[in-house]
Amino acid sequence: MKLFVDTGQVEEVRQAAEWGIIDGVTTNPSLIAKAGRGFKETVLAMCEILPHGSISAEVVGTTVPDILKEAREIASWAPNIVVKVPMTPAGIQATRQLRQEGIRVNMTLVFSPAQALLAAKAGATYISVFVGRVDDIASEGMRTIEEVVQMVDAYGFESEVLVASIRHPMHVVEAMRMGAHIATMPFKVLEQLFHHPLTDIGLQRFLEDWNKAGLRIFDNPA
Ligand code: E4P
């Protein structure tokens, strides 16, 4: 399963990239606005940090001509950009056209298997299914992931299912159990994935035992 970080902060991408376990980044207009830097400079900095990763950057146009114009511009900035397009009739129509032009699309704001089917048929590279926002309204976001993964597998669509709007580590674990292709998460959730109290306790004990016995690895410590 690929792990993406969902952020507008270049420094978070840099840290995640140093750990070497990140396959890409997703941004959205809200995250870019919150980060407080220019859109193009932010996306290009991320592309440079992860040259072999996939960087999703979103259009803000809502008509077919506007979406196409913005998507072509954003895609021209770097080869590893995937353009995020909203799940609307105009977004679907634009996705079909962009696909023919070789521009990869991450279809965003997908909340139902029906919407995911349309995204897959339009040729979206990624289908971003939001889970946290559904949980927020007392429904089951992960249930949709299960159905969308089944749909993509059953019909052999090339689209990858991207679990978005992740709120906590269990969303990542459930995405893995369901066979989703990608999970994108806030940097904070990525950090949380590292932690287990028994790891901390275990490491502390190993080091105490080692030090008590006066053992060493190097014959001539520097
Ligand atoms: C996905 O690509 C979106 O940027 C993101 O996951 C939205 O998450 P939110 O519901 O926490 O805003």
Q: Are 44 and 77 in contact (CB under 8 A)?
A: yes
How wide is the angle at C-alpha 149 spanned by C-alphas 143 and 124, nearest 5°? Answer: 120
Nearest alpha-carbon partner for 30 in 12, 5, 7, 4: 7
| pLDDT tens by residue, 56-84 | 999 999 999 999 999 999 999 999 999 99
- Catalytic residue numbers read 84
- 211/8 Cα distance (integer angstroms): 43
pLDDT for 203: 98
Using a 6 Å cutoff on CB, does residue 132 contact ligand 1?
Answer: yes
Low-confidence ranges of the chain (pLDDT < 50): none
Residue nearest to atom 10 of ligand 1 (CA): 165
User: What pLDDT was estimated at residue 217?
Assistant: 95
Measured by CA distance, the residue closest to atom 9 of ligand 1 is 165
The helix (run of H) or strand (run of E) holding residue 18 is helix 10-19
Quick one: pLDDT at residue 220? 84
Closest atom, ligand 1, to C-alpha of 185: 6
Residue 28 near ligand 1, beta carbon < 6 Å: yes
Instruction: Round to whole Å and give the CA distance between 21 and 81.
Output: 19
Q: Output the DSSP codes for 114-151.
A: HHHHHHHHHT-SEEEEE-HHHHHTTS-HHHHHHHHHHH
Residue with tokens 């048929």: 121
- Identity at 127, one-letter amino acid code: I
Most ligand 1 atoms within 8 A of CB, residue of 5, 83, 130 to mutate: 130
Element housing 164 (H / E): strand 160-164
CATH class of 2-197: alpha beta
Q: Which residue has the tokens 């674990």?
A: 173
CA 211, CA 188: separation in Å to the nearest integer? 33
The dihedral through the CA atoms of 159, 145, 109, 194 has a sign that is negative
Domain range summary for the chain, segments of one domain joined by +: 2-197
86 alpha carbon – ligand 1 mean position (Å): 12
DSSP letter (8 states) at residue 52: T
